[in-house]
Amino acid sequence: MTTKPYADPDAGKTPQQLYAERTKRMADALQLKQPDRIPIQLGFGYMLAEMGGITRQEQHENGAKEQELLEKAALQFQPDSVMGLFNNPGASVALGDRMTKFPGHGLNPNGSFQFVEGEYMKPEDYDAFIDDPADWSIRKYWPRVFPELEGLALLPPLGIGAFGAYALPQLGILKAPPVVKALQALGRAADAQAVADARAVNSVQRMAALGFAPPTFMGSIAEAPFDFMSDTLRGMRGIMLDIHRRPDKLLAAMDKVLRLQLEYAIAFHRATGLTTCFIPLHRGSDGFMSLAQFEKFYWPTLKAMQVTLVENGIMPFVFYEGVWDQRLKYLVELPKAKTTGLFQFSDIFKVKQVVGGTMCIAGGMRNSLLQAGTADDVCELTIKLCREVGKGGGFIMTTGIGEMEGCKPELVKVWVDTTKEYGVY
Amino acid sequence: MNVLVEAITDMREEDAVRTAKEMLDKGTSPLEVLDNCREAMTIIGQRFEAGDCFVPELILAGEVLRQISEVVKPKLTQTVTQKKLGRVVIGTVEGDIHDIGKDIVTFMLDVNGFDVHDLGVDVPAAKFVEEVKAFQPQVVGLSGFLTLAYDPMKNTVQALKDAGLRDKVKIMIGGGQIDDQIRQYTGADAYGKDAMAAVALAKQWVGG
C-alpha cells in the first residue's frame, strides 16, 4: 500500500474556522454522534523534547520552550487537539515527594516520569484512616511521603479546631521550627503549582488561538476507589493482601474515598466550569484480580463514581489502562453517551462491538507501530480503525496511551493524514 | 490432598502456618514440609495459568511460604537441593522501576522448576552482561512497563552481543507496551504477553 499525494482538507482555513470545526468535531464524537470526520488528538508528551532536541527535564521545567515546541508540532501535523506533558515536577520537588521521580530529580535529565509505588499506608493505619481521613493524611501520611512536611507530625489532632476559642492555645505549635519549615515548604509547593496552572491555562488559550480544540483530559482527576487505596496508599502488594486479610476495612475505606473524591470533583467543576473528570484506571485491568473480586472490590464504586459525576454534569474521561477484554460487559451498565473510554491494549475492534453504543471510544493506534513499524503498517491499521471503530461516529483517533515518546514524526504524519483521508463520514 | 497443601491452596493463611508448625512439632521432617509447600505452589501456579486464581492469591501464597520457611529453616540440618530445569536471569531494564510483571514471571518460572536470578529493577545493560557471565543462564528475561523501555532493551541485547554472549542465551522480553514490533526492534528472540508465555518459552528453549 502506498499513500497518494496528500491534499490537506484544512488548508486555507482561518484559525477561528478551524477552532470552531475542531471543537464541534470533538464534541460530536464525545457525545456519541457522527461528526464530519474522525477527530484526532495527539498527546505528544516527551516526543516534543525529541523533536526539539532538548532534555526531558528542560521540557518539564521550561514552560515557554515546551509551548514553542507544542505549537510547532501542532502546526506541522494539524490534528484536532494536542497535548504536551500532563504533569509538572514543581510541587513534588518542593516537598521532596518520595512517590514520584522526574527527569533531573531522581532520574537522569532524559529519564521518563515515573510513579514510585510503596506501602505508604500500613495495615494498622486502616482504622485511623477510616475514622478521619483528613487528620490521618495531614499528620501521619504527608510526613511519610513528603520529607519536607515531617514537621506536620507535631500538629495536634486537626479536629481539635472544633473546640473554637479553647483550641487557640494550640496555635503556638505553628511556631515550632519543624512546623515552620513544613509550612514554608507548602508555600513553595503552592507557588510552583500556581506557575504550573498558569502555564496550562495559557497553553490551552494559545492553542485555541491557533485553531486547536482543548484536549479531552482537561478538568479534575479522580481514581477508582480501589486504585486510590492501592496507588498512593497501600501499594500493589499491600492491597492484594488486603483483599484476603481485611476485605471489610478495604471496602469501608473505599467508600470514604469515593465520597471525598466526588465532593472534590463536583466542587472543581463548579469552580472552574470544566466538564471533564479524568479517571486513569490501574488494577481493574484483566489479569490482576478475578471477576468475582472485580465485582466486589472494583466495579461497584467505579460505576457509582461515574454515575454520580454524570448526574452532576461532568463527563468521566476514563483511561482503561491495560486490557479490559474480559470486563467490557460491565461498561455497558454506564449511562449512554455520557462517558468516554480511552483504551490502551484492549482489542479495540471488540471494544467497538461491545461498548460502541454506550460510550465514545478513544485510542486505536499502537505506540509501538509509530516507533518501530513501517508507513504501510501504519496506513493499514489506520484505515481499518477508520472503517471499523470509526463507524457511525463516537470515536477519537489517538494513541493507546496519551504519550508519544519515541514515535517517529514521519509515521505520525502518515497516521494523521490517512485518518483525515479515510475518516470522512 | 495433604492438609498443609490444602490449607495453602485454599488461601487459609493462619491454618497453613499453624499446620506447618504442628507437623514439625509432631516430628515431620522439615524437608517434607517444604515438599508440601512446593506442591502447593505448583498447584497455585497451575491455577494461575488456567485463570482460576490471580495476583492476590500469588502474593498471599508467597507470604504464607515466607512465614512457613521462617519456621522450617532453624530445623533444617541439610541443604535442600532440587534438580532445576534451567537457569534464567531476569530484570527490569534501565530507567524503568516497575516490578509487578517481572515478579509474577519470576514466581511462575520458579514454581515451574527454573533457577531464577532476579536482578531487580532499573538494571543497566552492563549489569545484565556481568550477571550472564557469572550465572551462565540459558535464558535472559528483560522486563519493562513503559515505552521508554524499548531502547534500554535494545541496548541490553546489543551489550550481550558485544560481550560475545548473544549466542549463548535466548532472550525474551515482556511488559505492558511490548509486542512483536518491539521484539524485532530490540533484537530479542521472543516476547511473551504474560507469565505463562514466559514459562512456555523458557521450557521450549531449555528443551524441558
Interchain contact, B150 vs A406, CB within 8 Å: yes
Instruction: Please tell me the distance in Å from B56's CA to the nearest CA on chain A.
Output: 4
CATH code 3.40.50.300 for B86-206: no
Question: Is A369 in CB contact (< 8 Å) with chain B?
Answer: yes
Instruction: Please tell me the distance in Å from A117's CA to the nearest CA on chain B.
Output: 9
Interchain contact, B55 vs A288, CB within 8 Å: yes
Cell of B64: 504464607
Domain limits of chain B?
A: 3-75, 86-206
For residue A240, the chain B residues in CB contact (below 8 A) are: 55-56, 59-60
Which of B181, B182, B185, B194 is the best mutation test for A, with the most CBs of A within 10 A? B181
Torsion sign over Cα A186, A191, A197, A199: negative
Interchain contact, B54 vs A401, CB within 8 Å: no
* Contact by Cβ (8 Å): B202, B88: yes
* Contact by Cβ (8 Å): A280, A319: yes
How many beta-carbon pairs under 8 angstroms link A with B?
80
Torsion sign over Cα A230, A231, A233, A235: positive
Cell of B178: 511490548
For residue B185, the chain A residues in CB contact (below 8 A) are: 368, 371-372
Per CATH, the homologous superfamily of domain B3-75 is Methionine synthase domain (1.10.1240.10)
Interchain contact, B181 vs A406, CB within 8 Å: no
Interchain contact, A401 vs B177, CB within 8 Å: yes
For residue B59, the chain A residues in CB contact (below 8 A) are: 237, 240-241
Interchain contact, B150 vs A403, CB within 8 Å: no
Quote the CA–CA distance of A376 and A382 in Å, as a whole number.
Answer: 10
For helices B55-72 and B30-50, the axis angle rounded to 10 degrees is 170
Instruction: Please tell me the distance in Å from B66's CA to the nearest CA on chain A.
Output: 14
pLDDT-based confidence at residue B80 (cuts at 50, 70, 90):
low
Nearest to B147 among A241, A245, A406 (CB): A406
Interchain contact, B13 vs A245, CB within 8 Å: yes
For residue A111, the chain B residues in CB contact (below 8 A) are: 95, 148
Which conformational region is residue A414 in: left (phi greater than 0), alpha (psi within -120 to 50 degrees), or beta?
Answer: alpha
Cell of A373: 513499524
Q: What is the ipTM of this complex?
A: 0.87
Residue A361 Cα distances to A388, A398, B7, angstroms:
12, 10, 45
* Contact by Cβ (8 Å): A393, A378: no
Could you tell me which CATH class the domain A25-89+119-124+192-422 is placed in?
Answer: alpha beta
Mean pLDDT by 10 residues, chain A (425 residues): 67 95 98 97 97 97 97 98 93 96 92 90 98 97 98 97 96 97 98 95 96 92 98 95 98 98 98 96 93 98 98 98 95 98 96 98 95 95 98 97 92 98 96
Which residue numbers of B have CB closer than 8 Å to A's CBs? 11, 13, 53-57, 59-60, 63, 95-98, 100, 146-148, 150-151, 176-179, 181-182, 184-185, 194
Domain limits of chain A?
A: 25-89+119-124+192-422
Q: Report the candidate in B121, B30, B114, B10 with the shortest Cα–Cα distance to residue B70.
A: B30
For residue B182, the chain A residues in CB contact (below 8 A) are: 368, 371-372
Question: Is A322 in CB contact (< 8 Å) with chain B?
Answer: yes
CA dihedral B2, B5, B11, B14 (to 10 degrees): 80
Q: What is the pLDDT of residues B124-154, one digit of tens each?
A: 999 999 999 999 999 999 998 877 788 899 9
Give the model's pLDDT for residue A60. 97
Instruction: Please tell me the distance in Å from A405's CA to the nearest CA on chain B.
Output: 7
Give the largest Cα separation in chain A, rounded: 79
Quote the CA–CA distance of A325 and A316 in Å, as a whole number.
Answer: 20
- pTM: predicted TM-score of the whole model, two decimal places: 0.91
For residue A236, the chain B residues in CB contact (below 8 A) are: 55, 100
Question: Is A403 in CB contact (< 8 Å) with chain B?
Answer: yes
Residues linked to residue A106 through DSSP beta bridges, in sequence order = A102
Instruction: Please tell me the distance in Å from A408's CA to the nearest CA on chain B.
Output: 13
Torsion sign over Cα B58, B59, B64, B69: positive
Interchain contact, B178 vs A368, CB within 8 Å: yes
Question: Is A4 in CB contact (< 8 Å) with chain B?
Answer: no
Of A107-111, B154-158, B166-170, minimum mean pLDDT range:
A107-111
Quote the CA–CA distance of B167 and B5 in Å, as a whole number.
Answer: 41
Helix (H) or strand (E) holding A69: helix A63-77
* Contact by Cβ (8 Å): A294, A333: no
**Arithmetic mean of pLDDT, B16-36:** 93
Which of B92, B145, B147 is the best mutation test for A, with the most CBs of A within 10 A? B147
pLDDT-based confidence at residue B201 (cuts at 50, 70, 90):
very high
Q: Which residues contact A384 (CB under 8 A, 6 or more apart)?
A: none
Interchain contact, B146 vs A322, CB within 8 Å: no
Give me the residue label for grid cell 526539539.
A52
Give the model's pLDDT for residue A1. 45
Residue B183 Cα distances to B42, B143, B178, B192, angstroms:
30, 12, 7, 10
